[in-house]
Structure 1
Amino acid sequence: MNPAKRLEIFTRFRAANPHPTTELEYTTPFELLIAVLLSAQSTDVGVNKATRKLYPVANTPAQILALGLDELKTYIATIGLYNTKAKNVIATCQMLVDLYGGEVPRSREALEALPGVGRKTANVVLNTAFGEPTMAVDTHIFRVSNRTGIAPGKTVEVVEHKLLKFVPKEFLQDAHHWLILHGRYTCIARKPLCWNCLIADLCEYRQKTPPPDGL
């Protein structure tokens, strides 16, 4: 894919959705960090249902530590892998209290050192909470990048590197949100909605899905 196509793709994404953001609900960097940690292999909808009950009761590291592991589990029991996630949340909160005065650190290295926080989670927090032009490559972004030809690669790391290199700088801040939303609602895994896609004429996917009968 050439630079002109990429420029047009992101120009269209911006025109359709000028201020994209995560679908996870949060009001502070800490709330975002915990929501992203909980979202692994779970839906944003499911995480939001849990945090709507949790955050009014406890939305700081100290408050969650005061709840304790067993009480925390009652709030997130509807989320997949909640036992492991609860342990990671408690351990993360303890580190935030002990090392950072209860605040979320703004460095990648510090974020990735927190239990349950990997590169993708760190990238989401750095981008969405702190405004850094990072690229949090999840399954949606990986699929869209490869399928469209925007930034093909065999690993998440390769796709992340290519996106940071190829996406025009003016779009880097919001690019990962556009790509996630595109993958979640249009360029879906089994049968992409190519007939209803605003970049179909620019996409390099060969097996484009025809419109359903009657459309």
Structure 2
Amino acid sequence: MSSEIAVKALIFDVFGTLVDWRGSIAREARQALEPLGLTLDWPAFADAWRGEYQGAMEEVRSGRLPFSKLDRLHRRNLDIVLTRLGVDGQVDEAVRARLNLAWHRLDAWPDVEAGLQALRRHYLLAPCSNGNISLMVDLARRNGWHWDAILGAELARDYKPKPTVYLHACAALDLKREQVLMVAAHSSDLAAAAAAGLRTAHIARPDEAGTGLGESAPRVPVDLAVTDLRELASALSR
């Protein structure tokens, strides 16, 4: 990646890029709901919950709902899924509240901790996620990540891929847009970041939503395309 303006900071998408949301939510749902006598397809449950994600955020992006932290939207979506599955009456408030925080307990992909450590030697690092700040803090502590800042939707009071989320991240770091590299496993995220003037790097997560149901390569032009964060660190050091 060549440029007259050097990259000084990397900002990261989190769900799917840094963490295995599907496997983690399937595990957490089983732990919470199986003791109630529920037998469900747990990966399908994770998919259904995640499937409400964009629609809920679009309510905010469109202005139909005021800005709400993702924890609140996740809870709204959980209630929708439990009703759709016909188990609404079997899950009490305490279980729902605990299960909703499953998004704070997601496991990182195997390359992430070492990759972030290597990148941190040379760059400022921060999440630029639709997740709220407390969620990002909990994921960092769970997975051994060390951020220089926590940026994203809660700071911007809006959700990606709105340009304001990326631009607030650059402004918070007092950097030009060209000095910030957005790292994600989703081409739509990277296309929006590039349109806002940031540099972009695609991380392959081919099994994010199930075997073969993630992006193994970018679908839009990017500055870098790599297989994992360790390769990203190597590519940026050349």
**TM-score where L is the length of structure 2:** 0.28
**TM-score where L is the length of structure 1:** 0.30
Determine which structure has more spread, i.e. the larger CA radius of gyration.
1
- Bigger RCO (CA 8 Å, 6+ sep): 2
